[in-house]
Each structure stands twice: as structure tokens, then as C-alpha cells.
Amino acid sequence: MRWLVGFTLLFIWVFGWLWITSAESAEFGLLSATTDVSFEWTANVEADLSGYNIYRTATSGTYNETNLVGTVIASAVQFVDVAVEDGQWYWAITAIDTAGNESAKSIEVTAILDTIPPAIPQNFHIVPAIIVPLILD
């Protein structure tokens, strides 16, 4: 499935149920979701870029050190958040320079992960056929 969001093409491959929302144009796009969620983004061009921090939270807009799920090097433009539990999650990314300065958070992306199948249907059985006489005039 391909989505065009604010002139940025995001490739989304869905296993299970996935809902994606974003308030504005996405430079930071969700790629796939099962229990692992993959991301990609457009690389920063600063000469002193050190890397990126990726954050995940269950509450929109609440990002801090406790919900940092990964740090990648400057040349990386992809990240996989592994073993994400079912529920609604929010992610954002920041850039870090060699002096340790961290950018503001990117736009937030969100997904609802649902890998639990529905319950087994109950009381499934054969019913006798009902014969209705047909009377022709």
C-alpha cells in the first residue's frame, strides 16, 4: 500500500491491524508493523550530525529519556522498534550533533497494533432444513 502524505511517499506494509495518523507532512514515515515496527526518515545534512534518538510513548506528546527506544548513527535512516506490544503507540525522532545538542522532536506518528485474533465462534452447528410446501394455482 502506498500513501502520499505532504509530498513524501511512505511505503506501508501491514501485518495485522494498523492505523496511522499524522497531523502534518511526514518526513518520518512508518514502514511496517507486527510486533516489530520499522521507520525511515530523510537524513539531516549538518556536518556535525552525530546520530538520531527514537522515542516511543503510550501518551501523545510525552517524550523523555525514559521512553527512548533507540539511538542510531548519523548515516542511518532506518530503525526497527522490536517487540512492541499491542495498543496505541506514538513515536518521534530527534537529531543529535557531536556537541550533544538535541533537536526538537519530529512530527509524531502513531499506530494501533492489534495482533490478537478474535475469539473462536461458539455454538456452531447444523440445523435441520425447513421444508415449505409450494402451492401452485
Give the pLDDT score at 94: 97
Structural domain including 77 reads 2-113
Q: CATH number for the domain including 7?
A: 2.60.40.10
Q: 105 and 94 in contact (C-beta within 8 Å)?
A: yes
Give the pLDDT score at 34: 59
Assess if residue 121 is contained within a domain.
no
* Cβ contacts of 42 within 8 Å, gap of 6 or more: 8, 27, 77
Assess if residue 15 is contained within a domain.
yes
* 3-state percent breakdown (helix, strand, coil) of the chain, nearest 5: 0, 45, 55
Backbone torsion region of residue 16, taken as left when φ is above 0, otherwise alpha when ψ lies between -120 and 50, otherwise beta: left
> Tens digit of pLDDT per residue, the chain (137 long)?
333 333 232 333 333 344 444 443 344 555 544 579 999 999 999 999 999 999 999 999 999 999 999 999 999 999 999 989 899 999 999 999 999 999 999 999 999 998 888 889 999 988 888 877 777 87
Give the chain's domain count: 1
pTM confidence score: 0.67
